[in-house]
Structure 1
């Protein structure tokens, strides 16, 4: 069965007679309650107190109290050590570089975050520029954004005529409907920029993933373009790009990569896409498992960012998956 035929099956209301199953998929993808990720459903919530005895509740309360005081004590030590490092040793020393990773108690008292390191002027400027890019929503009425969609089409299909902005042909690229602008809820304009960068800088990898040329494919494949939007959205969350200061380990490591290359975010997107497809094949996954594959991709990427001697995106082991 050709890849085009497989993609078109995603948009049929009836998949092998399973109308209810298809209806549920559409419900989760169109819900306004999710985090804006077209292929990801809402997170499950559990009530851990249900069915607990009084003794268990008291034990849990004492455990929470011990955790509170432990974290508070760590917070005081971290503040004192940070002050000492800045005054006596300077932020460039070994200890000065290590101390920002000590735990800091958040206002909720239930989660720990990291003390953000001091940023040099280059990091400040590039991080600010990246956050501005992330904040731009996709606007279907913008001529610039329409031109970007046209550019993506011509990069993906150089021998095919550009269709209208609303056409069934967009489904061939892996958009969910005939109007791509409706799929940008989570990723924003930066996700379209990521896809264009991928097509221009790594055309061989881009075409391989677009046309599902590697490995033994599932009968119900993930749609290429929408998967790209999900990857952009995942990276924005992982790298803390919508918060005031980076406070996760991956985000802090990413700042070092950003100081070496102002296109580090776009390259990381390309790497993550290749990683996702490799895990998709390894797990023999199907459409309904996309959420799990994306989560495992994030976990693997966070591990690679935490490796020693990683000073640029090209030092990441998964960079070798990319082909020009």
Structure 2
């Protein structure tokens, strides 16, 4: 019986989507004199609220031209918009703002796709110690985070001071490839004060609520908050998952006037690093073994925030100035 009801429900949903919804759109157009794209552009402010609806309208359009608009080359955006307006029989002279609005949203849409491809390429590129550019980036990371401590050697226990697991950081980049290194270096160079503060905090022994006697009985030699570099690579994975799932569209469509790029993604990483650090302190976990639990809870919180189409990460340059704002 349940299976039968499920099938009937799916059938009526299909009927609604294919017939009733298209019929409703036809009636609304006759009444208002505007197509769906016009209504979206005129009734929604610029940003995610408008662009997400335009993206959905184009994706579920029965017209191949509208569907293909989502994957055109950036150089073809203007021509594509002209073709759509011709298809919809919209006079550009009497609707000049519509063309501008469609172009801006379409640039955001194709830019997001391009950003996903660029980030994926960096993620898939492994760290190569024989590549001079890779090695230079790694050395820059050390100098940015430990400016007063010269590195004694390429293979050294000193790497643990900035949160790598062993003597050679290259092994820690396997999961996120060069993307993890790019993000850590961007954070260290472009918001140095915040990065150094987070690093310093992560190296401090965690304050325990246990008495001194209980602490000594547990035989803990130290309880460090977390490893800075390893957490940075892990937060890179979190930012990557938000990007490829489409959750970051809300943020990027609100902060990038046209095409989102790698810098927008790296600024998002800076925000996530700082906010995760605050969240870690608020959660007050017993030790690093609770990292996955805290990370999952933090991930869910960010996802909830990004469900609001008017929500964005404040587009200031420094991570210390980043916070969630309601536009």
The normalised TM-score by structure 2 is 0.61
Q: 5 Å matches for 1:12-161?
A: 59=2, 61=3, 65=7, 68-69=10-11, 72=14, 75-76=17-18, 80=22, 88-90=35-37, 92-94=41-43, 98=53, 100=55, 118=70, 120-121=106-107, 123-125=109-111, 127-129=113-115, 131-136=117-122, 137=125, 138-161=127-150
CA contact (8 A) 1:167 1:179 kept: yes
Q: 1:215 to 1:225 in 2, by over 3 A?
A: closer
Q: 2:229 aligns with which of 183, 200, 225?
A: 225
Q: 1:139 to 1:205 in 2, by over 3 A?
A: same
C-alpha separation between the residues in 2 aligned to 1:127 and 1:253? 14
C-alpha separation between the residues in 1 aligned to 2:11 and 2:133? 53
Could you tell me how far 1:274 is from its partner in structure 2? 1.2
CA contact (8 A) 2:203 2:224 kept: no
Q: 1:240-298, CA deviations, whole angstroms, 9 ceiling, x for partnerless residues?
A: 1xxxxxx64x2331441463363211111011111111111111112111112212222
CA contact (8 A) 1:191 1:228 kept: yes
Q: 1:58-107, CA deviations, whole angstroms, 9 ceiling, x for partnerless residues?
A: 74x457546644664565479848986999232634377537569x99xx
Unaligned runs of at least 5 residues, structure 1: 1-57, 106-114, 241-246
C-alpha separation between the residues in 1 aligned to 2:152 and 2:178? 20
**What residue is the counterpart of 1:282 in the other structure?**
282
Q: 1:160 to 1:300 in 2, by over 3 A?
A: same
Could you tell me how far 1:173 is from its partner in structure 2? 0.8
Bigger Rg, structure 1 or 2: 2
**What residue is the counterpart of 2:253 in the other structure?**
256
SS of 1:314's equivalent?
A: coil
Q: 1:149 to 1:68 in 2, by over 3 A?
A: farther
C-alpha separation between the residues in 2 aligned to 1:80 and 1:144? 54
CA contact (8 A) 1:194 1:232 kept: yes
Could you tell me how far 1:168 is from its partner in structure 2? 1.0
Q: 1:190 to 1:67 in 2, by over 3 A?
A: farther
* Larger helix percent: 2
SS of 1:304's equivalent?
A: helix
C-alpha separation between the residues in 1 aligned to 2:290 and 2:5? 36
CA contact (8 A) 2:250 2:309 kept: no
Could you tell me how far 1:196 is from its partner in structure 2? 1.1
Unaligned runs of at least 5 residues, structure 2: 45-49, 61-66, 71-104, 208-222
SS of 2:201's equivalent?
A: coil
Could you tell me how far 1:206 is from its partner in structure 2? 0.4
The normalised TM-score by structure 1 is 0.62
Could you tell me how far 1:310 is from its partner in structure 2? 3.9
Q: Alignment length, in residue pairs? A: 245
